[in-house]
Amino acid sequence: MIVLIAVAAAVLVPYLTEPGIPVFMYHCVADEPRDGDENLYVRPAQLEEEFQFLSDNGYTTLFSDEYEDAYSTHKPVILTFDDGYEDNYIELFPLLKKYKIKATIFVVAANIGQKDYLKEYQIKEMVKSGLVSIQSHTQNHIDLSSVDVETVDREFRESCAALSKISGKNVTTLSYPGGYFNKDVIREAERYFTYCYAIDTNEYSKDNHYEISRGGVFRNTTLEGFTIAIETYSQSRFYRELLKFKHKYFTK
Ligand SMILES: [Zn+2]
């Protein structure tokens, strides 16, 4: 009986009380969409409103490799930007400096130096500021759940080598391209990374390091929606489910 109660408590207490860590996923930052999905282009003014909110409300921004630290941080939030677009240097970086906010850019290594993607000198300058962490979004941005493990391994190995060579820092976290992964992908990822970020898995527990959920911030995300999202994600899983969080809460 005592064993049963102990087991039930171990399962239920984190479910009821352990906070979630708000983790947001962005892509491009630009007024004028270039190509692809227009909704991936967050306007600089919209981003600034969100940064102002974080700053005014005492949030602490952490890098993707500080996930566990977030559990002992007052009002933590992790901001991530996927793909490594050049507009992250042009539009995002000045705002990070203005508000002293930290962000992680998950870079597709093979795209570095290509049109509209980050250049090596830009990555170096951002890393040097201490406000940007450069992490892996694989070498070629392929769907990892649809290829063999050798390919997955190569995507991890090559991107880590290329990115750490430029940034001068170890690459220890990944965001899955398209959010796609499976058990085999996780097994390979465990050999390279301490944390892997996905999309909308609703998984924010301290122990699951390979399916960390991120909420997307898009062009149609309102400030009100952003603030509802950050407060919802900060709740325990029990309350998140009670609140029945849906994306529609924070889009226009
Ligand atoms: Zn991507």
- Residues 11-31: tens digit of each pLDDT: 787 778 888 999 999 999 999
- pLDDT > 60? residue 73: yes
- Band of pLDDT at residue 226, cut at 50, 70 and 90: very high
DSSP 166: H
Q: How far, in Å, from the CA of 167 to the mean position of ligand 1?
A: 20
Q: How far, in Å, from the CA of 137 to the mean position of ligand 1?
A: 7
Q: How far, in Å, from the CA of 177 to the mean position of ligand 1?
A: 5
In a domain, 11, yes or no: no
Provide the percentage of residues in the chain whose pLDDT is more than 90: 79
> What are the structure tokens assigned to 251, written together?
């889009």
Q: How far, in Å, from the CA of 193 to the mean position of ligand 1?
A: 17
Q: How far, in Å, from the CA of 87 to the mean position of ligand 1?
A: 15
Question: What does the pLDDT read at residue 246?
Answer: 56
Q: What average pLDDT score do residues 59-83 get?
A: 96
Q: How far, in Å, from the CA of 105 to the mean position of ligand 1?
A: 11
Q: What is the CATH number of the domain that holds 42?
A: 3.20.20.370
Q: What average pLDDT score do residues 54-74 get?
A: 96
245, 216 Cβ separation under 8 angstroms: no
DSSP 4: H
Q: How far, in Å, from the CA of 12 to the mean position of ligand 1?
A: 35
Enclosing H/E stretch for 60: strand 60-62
In a domain, 8, yes or no: no
In a domain, 214, yes or no: yes
In a domain, 2, yes or no: no
Number of domains in the chain: 1
In a domain, 95, yes or no: yes
In a domain, 216, yes or no: yes
Dihedral (CA of 204, 178, 107, 142) sign? positive
Q: How far, in Å, from the CA of 26 to the mean position of ligand 1?
A: 10
In a domain, 31, yes or no: yes
Q: Which domain holds residue 34?
A: 21-250
